Amino acid sequence: MGEKTITVEIDEQGNSSIDLHGFHGKGCGDVAEPLRGKDTIVVDRKKREYHVAGAESRVVHNSTKG
């Protein structure tokens, strides 16, 4: 099994983004869900690797409230 990487970035306004690498099948969504918490998804964008059979990666941008 390959290396898996999770990158979380939070900007000055409190907006966050999650970038997942190395997850396959439903693994990406399973990992991203608890990281999102109660945040609202603003952009859910699938990367090129998502469309390759057996590989799934996506970028999820969240917006924090308050």
Tens place of pLDDT per residue across the chain (66 aa): 578 899 999 999 988 888 888 876 666 777 888 888 888 888 887 776 666 655 444 555 566 655
Phi (first) and psi of residue 38, to 5 degrees: -100, 5
- Res 11: pLDDT: 93
DSSP 3-state of 63: strand
Give the whole-angstrom CA distance, residue 54 versus residue 48: 12
Give the whole-angstrom CA distance, residue 21 versus residue 49: 9
Q: How would DSSP label each residue in 26-45?
A: THHHHHHHHHHTTPEEEEEE
